[in-house]
């Protein structure tokens, strides 16, 4: 999937589910449950055993699914993920080499940043969306609102502290998207293979994004 299409999907859905699980089988199960719930986006973090192989399989089996790589900390890993078919690369921090590499590969770049300086540097380097991480310790949605006051042109994705209570506030504050992990993909639901639970949570988060966006218009 090309960068333009990936960014379009993320922009429309407004949710990037981060899958952090203990096995490739768990990751595949979670990704399928998320996709069937109406979120055609998954981020497979590099902490998942065999993460690159999981990305390759999901990309091959689900061509309409935007499969991204998370916690991409080195250029070598970025290259492996792109070769496996990753639609986007993201990380907790900002590495200009990875952002530049993503641009050359027509892969969306969602680097992490926290301070206004870091956000601007990531954007100027070519980031498609800047992931503000971690949000909760620095003020949550109020911090996103403060950033957007002077950085209106930069699409931000709030991550770190997004849950059912805060999701609407982050969108209202100006987040183009929210990054959600265990709040959307609970460990117990994975262990019990409870796809219904994951689908229900996905529908809730989709509802929060829609509700917030409706209020903004």
Nearest partner of 30 among 206, 198, 207, judged by Cα: 198
Element (H, E) at 58: helix 51-61
Position 32 in a domain: yes
> What is the rounded distance in angstroms from the CA atom of residue 111 to the CA atom of residue 130?
6
Q: Mean pLDDT, the chain, as a whole number?
A: 97
> Is the pLDDT reported for residue 5 higher than 90?
yes
Which pair of tokens denotes residue 141? 């949605």
The pLDDT of 52-68, averaged and rounded, is: 96
Strands (E), the chain: 15-19, 41-45, 66-70, 88-90, 108-110, 112-113, 130-132, 156-159, 177-180
Position 54 in a domain: yes
Q: Give the pLDDT of residue 129.
A: 98
What's the pLDDT tens digit per position in 110-135?
999 999 999 999 999 999 999 999 99
Which pair of tokens denotes residue 156? 């931000």
> Is the dihedral angle over the CA atoms 193, 196, 200, 202 positive or is it negative?
positive
Position 87 in a domain: yes
What's the pLDDT tens digit per position in 166-184?
999 999 999 999 999 999 9
Domain that holds residue 22: 3-209
Position 214 in a domain: no
Nearest partner of 39 among 159, 210, 164, judged by Cα: 210
Q: What is the pTM of this model?
A: 0.97
What's the pLDDT tens digit per position in 102-116?
999 999 999 999 999
Find all residues with CB under 8 Å of 206, minimum gap 6, and list them.
Answer: 13, 15, 37, 38, 39
What's the pLDDT tens digit per position in 27-52?
999 999 999 999 999 999 999 999 99
Position 133 in a domain: yes
Q: Give the pLDDT of residue 144.
A: 98
How many domains does the structure of the chain reveal?
A: 1
Model confidence band, residue 60 (pLDDT cutoffs 50, 70, 90): very high
Q: Give the pLDDT of residue 99.
A: 98
> Is the pLDDT reported for residue 14 higher than 90?
yes
Q: Give the pLDDT of residue 197.
A: 97
Q: Give the pLDDT of residue 217.
A: 86
> What is the rounded distance in angstroms from the CA atom of residue 37 to the CA atom of residue 54?
20
Which pair of tokens denotes residue 88? 């986007």
> Is the pLDDT reported for residue 18 higher than 90?
yes
Position 216 in a domain: no
Position 18 in a domain: yes
Position 116 in a domain: yes
Q: Give the pLDDT of residue 79.
A: 98
Nearest partner of 125 among 156, 152, 94, 146, judged by Cα: 94
Element (H, E) at 9: helix 3-13
The CATH number assigned to the domain holding 201 equals 3.20.20.70
What's the pLDDT tens digit per position in 66-106?
999 999 999 999 999 999 999 999 999 999 999 999 999 99
């Amino acid at each position: 999937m090309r960068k333009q299409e990936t960014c379009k999907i993320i922009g429309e859905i407004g949710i990037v589910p981060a899958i952090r699980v203990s096995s490739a089988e768990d990751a595949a199960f979670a990704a399928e449950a998320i996709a069937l719930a109406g979120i055609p986006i998954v981020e497979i973090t590099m902490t998942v055993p065999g993460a690159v192989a999981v990305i390759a399989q999901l990309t091959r089996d689900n061509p309409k699914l935007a499969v991204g790589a998370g916690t991409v900390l080195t250029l070598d890993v970025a290259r492996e993920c792109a070769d496996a078919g990753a639609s986007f690369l993201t990380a907790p921090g900002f590495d200009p080499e990875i952002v530049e590499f993503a641009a050359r590969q027509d892969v969306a770049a969602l680097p992490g940043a926290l301070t206004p300086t870091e956000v601007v540097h990531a954007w100027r380097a070519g980031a498609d969306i800047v992931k503000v991480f971690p949000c909760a310790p620095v003020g949550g949605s109020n911090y996103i609102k403060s950033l957007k006051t002077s950085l209106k042109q930069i699409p931000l994705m709030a991550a770190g502290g997004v849950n059912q209570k805060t999701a609407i506030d982050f969108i209202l504050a100006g987040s183009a998207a929210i990054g959600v992990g265990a709040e959307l993909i609970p460990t117990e639901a994975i262990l019990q293979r409870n796809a219904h639970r994951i689908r229900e949570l996905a529908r809730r988060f989709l509802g929060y994004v829609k509700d917030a966006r409706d209020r903004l218009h």
